[in-house]
Amino acid sequence: MSFHRRFLLIRTGSWTFRVERRTLAVTGLLGAVITGMVIFALMLGDYPLGPGDVIASLLGTGDDPLAQFFVRDLRAPRVVTALLIGAALGTSGAIFQTLTGNPLGSPDITGFTVGAATGALLQIIVFGGGPLAIGLGALFGGFATGTLVYLLSRSNGITGTRFVLIGIGVAAILQGVNGLLIVRASLTAAQTAGQWLAGSFNATTWGETLTLTVILMILIPCALALSRPLGVMLTGPDLAVGLGVPVDTRRIQLIVLGVALVAVTVAVAGPIAFIALAAPQLARRLTRTSGPGLGTAALMGGFLVLTSDVISQRLFAPTQLPVGVVTGSLGGVYLIWLLAHEWRKDHHA
């Protein structure tokens, strides 16, 4: 291990990893804050607990069986799912914003989230499918939308602006399709679809959480493994090719991973807005780096979703809001600020 003024070099055998010290500090800070938020989230509910009770229940050393039931069986699956979904959305957002070179290039804006929702709505309303069918529908819808946007953007050479604009257009069309599906549905199906579209963790179980964990243990490491070529691609396609990066192949791989991450989250909890848009940018502002920052974006996403879920549970307690309502409200404010910031930056350049 070597220390430099800005970087920390970690040598493992023939491999050398360079980590910015500020990024390492931000990662540690986010990890500590998330740990505190996890304990706080496990304390809240109809059966309030103290921090000591929560820790004892998690370690299995507590003598209150009711506390262990609430912490380990009811609240923990929801907390873990919120963290995993936030990490997936943060990673996906960082991938697409880096690929497009545009802060608006997130799955929320470019239609992938809406496409996954369309696939799920078809299963709910048209086919009356169960949870597995809804999940598969979300995956199919997300990949179909991703393929369509990619092919349309590729017609005259892919650029970040073209990709985002085509994605916005496809998203607008799919929003109309989703609205039409709900309007033409039966009352029961429309109510089910409306609740699902709001995005919620209310019915989360350990079975769903473990399935999500296994899937993301494959997808997120694959994305992190491609973070280095993604960083090289920031220098431009010609230079990246000169440095030995197969740009087209890596771009397709990253798009597939990004869409898969979004589709999985939609399949589990419904569409949750704002996180994929904001998490990478907030993480980048803290680390002050220009690279992809997939790891810090994942941590920031987990923190944002968990915090939003806590707010959704306690804002109008005992009534619980869907977490998507909270993230959507925050996302609208953030999007207005982002557009105003970009406008000022362009006019002062």
Which residue in 206, 201, 209, 189 sits closest to 321, CA to CA? 201
Select, from the ranges 1-5, 77-81, 108-112, the one with the highest average predicted confidence (pLDDT).
Answer: 77-81
- DSSP for 183-243, please give it: HHS-HHHHHHHHHHHT---TT--HHHHHHHHHHHHHHHHHHHHTHHHHHHHTT-HHHHHHT
Determine the pLDDT at residue 94. 93
Is a pLDDT exceeding 60 seen at residue 205? yes
Residues 2-22+71-348: name the CATH superfamily. Answer: ABC transporter involved in vitamin B12 uptake, BtuC (1.10.3470.10)
- Residues 75 and 42 sit within 8 Å (Cβ to Cβ): yes
Lowest mean pLDDT of 73-82, 161-170, 191-200, name the range.
191-200
Q: Where are the domains of the chain?
A: 2-22+71-348
Give the pLDDT confidence of 286-345 residue by residue, as tens digits. Answer: 888 777 788 999 999 999 999 999 998 888 777 788 888 888 888 777 778 777 776 776
Q: Which residue has the higher pLDDT, 123 or 61?
A: 123
Q: Which residues of 282-309 are buried (b: 16+ CB within 10 A; e: fewer)?
A: bbbebbebebbbbbbbbbbbbbbbbbbb
Is a pLDDT exceeding 60 seen at residue 165? yes
How confident is the prediction for the chain on average, in pLDDT?
85
